[in-house]
Amino acid sequence: MSLRDALFARVYDRAVAPAEEACFQDWRADLLAGLSGTVVEVGAGTGANLSHYPAAVERLVLTEPTPAMLRQLRDHLDRVDPGIDVEVHRASASSLPVGDDEADAVVTTLVLCSVPDQAAVLAEARRVLRPGGRLLFLEHVAAEDRPDRLKWQRRLDRPWSFACAGCHLTRRTEAAIAGAGFALGEVTHESARKASPLVRPTIRGTATAPA
Ligand SMILES: C[S@@+](CC[C@H](N)C(=O)[O-])C[C@H]1O[C@@H](n2cnc3c(N)ncnc32)[C@H](O)[C@@H]1O
């Protein structure tokens, strides 16, 4: 594990706390409320979604590749019992420890900005989802309707990515999800209050794997 990843993991919760309080926690709760069955979360980080999984989830598979994040995720689980059957795996989003068609839902929150290859990750999500299963996402994205902000996102993408463990500012994630063969449902575009202006443009919603 690199020093950069360890430092990022250490400061992450404190850095996002204002935005979590202002909006992300409410958005996570809304997004995850209807889940049931087998759910796979990719890049679970420190476990910000943990308290929002409903009791109807029978099996929750949390995956996270970065050891420092994984440690915090396990500490979080020691403190908070989500009341459901939870497995934790060290795994990349491009190689999930789940069989074909096993999952009812795959959850990505603030992860598709950081994976090296979105198409590979979305293909892997499709592999584990049963036909008609759902991808649930909350992601910060390129400011496609704000040329001034997009210009700054482009200018600062490299230093931002270096400082934030591979996170990118200019991802067109909605198009990538559609391009991976998912049927997009309603997608909410909303500015994340109290987040850095560079990561304020967000999308959230669900997309369905082909039946
Ligand atoms: C900004 S954090 C978000 C954490 C969490 N999902 C949340 O909503 O708070 C990004 C996470 O993506 C993870 N990540 C980065 N590359 C990844 C990959 N290739 N596969 C899975 N997760 C990855 C990081 O380790 C980190 O935990």
| Three-class SS state of 205 | strand
Instruction: Using the mean position of ligand 1's atoms as its centre, give its distance from the Cα of residue 113 in Å.
Output: 8
Find, among 144, 131, 124, 125, the residue nearest to 187 by Cα: 144
CATH architecture for residues 3-206: 3-Layer(aba) Sandwich (3.40)
The reply to whether ligand 1 has any atom less than 6 angstroms from the CB of 45 is yes
φ/ψ bin of 105: left (φ > 0), alpha (ψ from -120 to 50), beta (otherwise): beta
Cα(57) to centroid of ligand 1, in Å?
A: 21
pLDDT by residue for the chain (211 residues), tens only, comes to 588 888 999 999 999 999 999 999 999 999 999 999 999 999 999 999 999 999 999 999 999 999 999 999 999 999 988 889 999 999 999 999 999 999 999 999 999 999 999 999 999 999 999 999 999 999 999 999 999 999 999 999 999 999 999 999 999 999 999 999 999 999 999 999 999 999 999 999 999 999 8
Is the CB of 66 within 6 Å of ligand 1?
A: yes
Residue 43 near ligand 1, beta carbon < 6 Å: yes
Domain definitions of the chain by residue range = 3-206
Q: Is the CB of 93 under 6 A from ligand 1?
A: yes
Distance CA 178, CA 80 (A): 35
